[in-house]
Amino acid sequence: MSLSVSVHGLDVPDTVRGPLTEDDVPARLVAKDATLWGPEAESESAIRLGWLDLPATSRELVSRLADLRAELVGEGLDRIVLCGMGGSSLAPEVICRTAGVPLVVLDTTDPGQVLAAMDDLDRTVVVVSSKSGGTVETDSQRRAFIQAFADAGLDEKEIGRRFVVVTDPGSPLSETTAAMGARAVFLADPNVGGRYSALSAFGLVPSALAGADVGALLAEAEDLAVQLAEPDNPALQLGTVLGAAFRAGRDKLALAVGGSQGSGPQLQGFGDWAEQLIAESTGKEGRGILPVVLESVDAPGASGPDVLLGVVGSGAPALEPSVGVSGPLGAQFLGWEYATAVAGRVLGINPFDQPNVTESKENTQRILGEGLPEERPAATIGAIEVYGSGGVLDGVDLSSHDGVSLAIDALLASIPPRGYLAVMAYLDRQKDASAEGLRAALARRSDHAVTFGWGPRFLHSTGQYHKGGPQVGAFLQLTGVVAEDLQVPDQPYSFGTLQAAQAGGDRKALADRQRPLLHLHLTDRAAGLDQLLATLS
Ligand SMILES: O=P(O)(O)OC[C@H]1O[C@H](O)[C@H](O)[C@@H](O)[C@@H]1O
């Protein structure tokens, strides 16, 4: 079974569909024609279309990974921790959740969450995945695990045997790895960008080592791959729908995972993977499609004048306009990648670059060099310190006991027409999981789209859209007190400082654009979240 796309209540006009078939886009895309996105995108596109071949070229990894997994299990190493950000961790997380196999994904700088991942070290193998090999979060986690293994009494050689690395040839990580004596190194195809790498070594290595059937995943993708040169194949249909919705002013794609795929499992967490693909690929040059990951098909935000609902999985969506996309996970990965590339052509952007991601990273580095700036809260109410920029707190009475509620109302009121609110939580995805409830609570209180992202993970995903997409966002940033910090070995900062610098760096990037931003710092994380959720209930 490949992919099947059904459209409900959306007109897909010939002005969108016609040019795609007349210009022979399906055949040209499969032939890796780098001119499809215009002359300015050509040099990048020329080195970014390798993902089309992955269902076939990744086959050679399957038996190698089965052997490696058997070797590890034979040595009692059955707990896999994945250190990686964005395109280097979102796909394995979906693959393993869908397959029901355990994988610890560490895509954070939160000290508590990093410390919690350093559990059960005697059973643990760490997969370090980074395409560029230079991502600060991943490098910091690698350093921390080396230290933790050393503290647990392992010698240098034994420590190296606990690491498996996935990176591009010639990256700084590939060089470090040789020096570390890593057990295995998988060099990925450099002609595949991070967010298109689900079916490459980045998606497959951690998933296979955790016990997922990656051979079946590739076979599912292959079933779709053979159709992709045909006009009106399902992935082209999906891309056409995304483009048509955008042209009709529906530039928010509310994404929900629907029921299970016949006999197959529900695609757990697929929205988070698709979010990065779509937001980072299309959110630039002042336009883009904003993915809004929903908790369920009928969650708040599933409909609206600027919304298209996308349901991944079987079952006809209850709301209109909507697009239902059913099919197994391997076909979904390839289909959404192809559809995003097609939508990129309709939008007139380069779907393979991420021009605004570096900005927050540079701000972070500057703050790490200069030290965290002294900031005074406008008010402290219960367990919440309130800070604001972009004029969001002007005229708000923070002296009253419902000051936080008033500040949030002011933030919501600042959202322009067709705008959105982004909640960005630099907290512990496990221990502070209740923060996720803020999305639905705020979406109930607003007519606008509301997204939720864990920091710094979203910086590698919707962060591009926030800065490069239309400047119609309002932002709620959450940070929290660090109970126990952890030094990043051989660096002049701790995880807590790095996390705070990342939050500060992103605040600066948004403030430079005069975006309304409310920053709430929780002086007690659990009490602060309870207070916030109670305020919104
Ligand atoms: O795999 P890495 O090079 O570590 O990159 C991880 C992530 O970092 C960057 O922020 C990119 O914008 C993402 O597309 C990428 O997936």
**Does 314 score more than 90 pLDDT?**
no
Residue 312 contacts residue 258 (beta carbons within 8 Å): yes
Q: What is the pLDDT of residue 377?
A: 98
On whether both 64 and 11 belong to a single domain, the answer is no
Q: Give the Cβ contact number of residue 175 at 10 Å.
A: 12
What's the gap in Å between 89 CA and the centre of ligand 1? 10
- Does ligand 1 come within 6 angstroms of the Cβ of 135? yes
Q: Domain range holding 23?
A: 4-31+229-347
The C-alpha atoms of residue 133 and residue 510 are separated, in whole angstroms, by 27
Q: What is the pLDDT of residue 113?
A: 98
On whether both 238 and 260 belong to a single domain, the answer is yes
- Does ligand 1 come within 6 angstroms of the Cβ of 536? no
Which atom of ligand 1 is least distant from the CA of 460? 10
- Does ligand 1 come within 6 angstroms of the Cβ of 93? no
Residue 127: strand, helix, or coil = strand
What's the gap in Å between 201 CA and the centre of ligand 1? 15
Q: What is the pLDDT of residues 363-410, one digit of tens each?
A: 999 999 999 989 999 999 999 999 999 999 999 999 988 999 999 999
On whether both 404 and 530 belong to a single domain, the answer is yes
> Looking at the 3D structure of the chain, how many domains does it have?
3
Residue 474 contacts residue 123 (beta carbons within 8 Å): no
Average pLDDT over residues 175-184: 92
Q: What is the pLDDT of residues 23-35, one digit of tens each?
A: 999 999 999 999 9
Q: What is the pLDDT of residue 60?
A: 98
- Residue of the nearest CA to atom 14 in ligand 1? 194
CA 143 → CA 80, 82, 365, 369, distances in Å?
A: 17, 14, 18, 20
Which atom of ligand 1 is least distant from the CA of 86? 16
Mean pLDDT of the chain: 96
Q: What is the pLDDT of residue 481?
A: 98
Q: What is the pLDDT of residues 149-169, one digit of tens each?
A: 999 999 999 999 999 999 999
Task: CATH number of the domain at 186, please.
Answer: 3.40.50.10490
In a domain? residue 45? no
Residue 328, sorted as left (phi over 0), alpha (psi -120 to 50) or beta, turns out to be beta
Residue from 141, 460, 461 to probe ligand 1 pocket by mutation (most atoms less than 8 Å from CB): 460
On whether both 183 and 312 belong to a single domain, the answer is no
The C-alpha atoms of residue 485 and residue 99 are separated, in whole angstroms, by 34
On whether both 482 and 411 belong to a single domain, the answer is yes
Which atom of ligand 1 is least distant from the CA of 88? 1
DSSP string, 363-406: HHHHHHHH-PPP---SEEETTEEEEEETTTTTT--TTSTTHHHH
On whether both 193 and 290 belong to a single domain, the answer is no
Q: What is the pLDDT of residue 267?
A: 92
- Does ligand 1 come within 6 angstroms of the Cβ of 280? yes
Q: Which of 347, 379, 408 is the last residue of a domain?
A: 347
Q: How would residue 260 be classed by pLDDT, with cut points 50, 70 and 90?
A: low
On whether both 331 and 426 belong to a single domain, the answer is no
Q: How would residue 313 be classed by pLDDT, with cut points 50, 70 and 90?
A: confident
In a domain? residue 313? yes
Q: What is the pLDDT of residue 262?
A: 60
Q: How would residue 459 be classed by pLDDT, with cut points 50, 70 and 90?
A: very high
Q: Which of 200, 220, 240 is the last residue of a domain?
A: 220
On whether both 208 and 325 belong to a single domain, the answer is no
The C-alpha atoms of residue 215 and residue 204 are separated, in whole angstroms, by 9
Residue from 85, 195, 340 to probe ligand 1 pocket by mutation (most atoms less than 8 Å from CB): 85
Q: What is the pLDDT of residue 68?
A: 98
Backbone φ, ψ for residue 416 (5° rounding) = -75, 170
On whether both 86 and 144 belong to a single domain, the answer is yes
What's the gap in Å between 85 CA and the centre of ligand 1? 6
How do strand 517-522 and strand 473-480 relate by DSSP bridges? parallel
Q: What is the pLDDT of residue 429?
A: 97
What's the gap in Å between 333 CA and the centre of ligand 1? 18
Residue 424 contacts residue 403 (beta carbons within 8 Å): no
Which atom of ligand 1 is least distant from the CA of 459? 10
**Does 315 score more than 80 pLDDT?**
no
User: Sign of the C-alpha dihedral, residues 273, 211, 84, 477?
Assistant: positive
In a domain? residue 404? yes
389: its two tokens: 């920029």
Q: What is the pLDDT of residues 292-309, one digit of tens each?
A: 999 999 899 999 999 999
Q: Which amino acid is at 271?
A: G
On whether both 128 and 93 belong to a single domain, the answer is yes
On whether both 211 and 236 belong to a single domain, the answer is no
- Residue of the nearest CA to atom 12 in ligand 1? 460
**Cis bond leading into 234, ω under 30°?**
no
18: its two tokens: 């016609």
Q: What is the pLDDT of residue 316?
A: 62
The C-alpha atoms of residue 506 and residue 457 are separated, in whole angstroms, by 12
On whether both 502 and 367 belong to a single domain, the answer is yes
The C-alpha atoms of residue 248 and residue 185 are separated, in whole angstroms, by 47
Residue from 165, 187, 357 to probe ligand 1 pocket by mutation (most atoms less than 8 Å from CB): 357
Q: How would residue 265 be classed by pLDDT, with cut points 50, 70 and 90?
A: confident
Residue 422 contacts residue 453 (beta carbons within 8 Å): yes
Cβ-proximal residues to 371 (8 Å cutoff; 6+ apart), any chain: none
- Does ligand 1 come within 6 angstroms of the Cβ of 457? no
Is the complex ipTM more than 0.85?
A: yes
Give which of 255, 254, 247 is closest to 303, Cα–Cα.
254
- Does ligand 1 come within 6 angstroms of the Cβ of 356? no
